[in-house]
Amino acid sequence: MMQRSTLLLLVVLIQGACNPANSQKAEEVEHPPVSVQQPSDQEEIAASRQTAITRAVSAATPAVVSINVIAVEQVAVRDPFMNDPFFEQFFGRRRARMYQRQVKALGSGFVISPDGYIATNNHVVRNATAITVSLHTGETMQAELVGRDEATDIALLKVDAGHPLDYLRFASSQEPLVGEWAIALGNPFGLFEATEPTVTVGVVSAVGRDFEIQERAVYRDMIQTDAAINQGNSGGPLVNADAEVMGLNTFIFTQSGGSIGLGFAVPARKVERIIAELKENGFVDRSYYTGLTGYDINEGIAKALGLESTAGLIVQDVGDGSPAETAGFQPYDVITSLGGEDVENLSGFQARLYDFRPGDTVEFGVIRDGKPLTLTMVIGRTEG
């Protein structure tokens, strides 16, 4: 395990003296001169340049890797005579042809254990047929895809380096502080493969950022940072000043294709949980069953039910013998929260469910006949 090291120069001065109460005949003892080596100007300058940031970077760098992927993707090739009435009368309606082609993708990752487990993004290794990992030392090796999770955009790789690897710890026991240092490490645009990662520094701009479901990925409770993150940084770590992983760099908002200071990372506590499941099972079990069906609330429904807003989800049906029925749900209940988190609409409800697993006990905030109440459900499992 990597430890932060701090150079501490401690100089202790000891003086010897005769006790005046002693006889004048007391022998004087000569002490040899104490030699204290003074630091050179260069050493002083070097020490003054060290900061919490440089120490964190030095500690984190050996565990950051670049990832090179060969993947297969489906490509639609448009027929030039498609939708042409003249050709359609002879050859019928023509469709775009689908082809497979190999593509190369680049990304980043970081080692999470000395035996070679590596965390990265699912979108970095999606459809991969070959994955190569490069360490900062220049070592390059093939990686095995242990498992991946589309919903959280997290993947787990494994390499056999033949020796223990430096790795990073997760800062999952504490929430990131808005305004604290945030250090992003990775391999932007694949420019620096098999060498030390690129480092950018900023702060934690916000926490708890939620987004709509995008291509099966549910980005919830994201960490926002202004540390520059660019293409190829995906999967790299966002670390704090203690060189602990706050989050896994995942995506940016951009108009130019480059960083504009709006980067987002999956928080460490979620990464650590998903990685543990992937390591154990190779997948994340989301075969949950509630027995609830519902729909969004519009202004008309809100007015009819005497609700103050359209936030929430109205229950349409409760399955017979379902976990929802056991929990006491009824049609026309309005679900306002799930697991302590507010529910804005059906999409938000579905996204919140992604955080739970079959067998979990979850509390629901509900409004029934204008009165708030709490219902507790044990999440069931889909049969088959």
| Angle at the Cα of 184 from the Cα atoms of 131 and 176, rounded to 5 degrees | 120
Active site residue 234: yes
Residues in the chain: 384
Burial 356-375 (b: 16+ CB within 10 A, else e): bbeeeebebbbbbeeeeeeb
Q: How far apart are CA 314 and CA 367, in angstroms?
A: 9
Transcribe 6-23 into DSSP letters: --------------TTS-
> Using H for helix, E for strand and C for coil, what is the string for 307-371?
CCCCCCEEEEEECCCCHHHHHCCCCCCEEEEECCEECCCHHHHHHHHCCCCCCCEEEEEEEECCE
Among 66, 123, 205, 355, which one carries the catalytic annotation? 123
Helix (H) or strand (E) holding 85: helix 85-91
Q: Is 285 a catalytic residue?
A: no
Cβ–Cβ under 8 Å, residues 235 and 157: no
E-strand spans in 4-84? 64-77
Which residue from 246, 268, 243, 265 is spatially nearest to 61, judged by alpha carbons?
A: 243
Decide: helix, strand or coil at residue 203. strand
| Active-site option among 108, 134, 205, 234 | 234
Return the amino acid letter for 379: I
Distance CA 329, CA 346 (A): 16
338 and 324 Cβ atoms separated by less than 8 Å: no
Is 153 catalytic? The answer is: yes
Q: What is the sign, positive or negative, of the torsion defined by CA atoms of 89, 90, 92, 96?
A: negative
Q: Residues 29, 30, 35, CA angle at the centre, nearest 5°?
A: 140
What is the rounded CA–CA span in Å between residue 321 and residue 299? 32
Catalytic residue among 149, 153, 226, 355: 153
Residues with a known catalytic role: 123, 153, 234
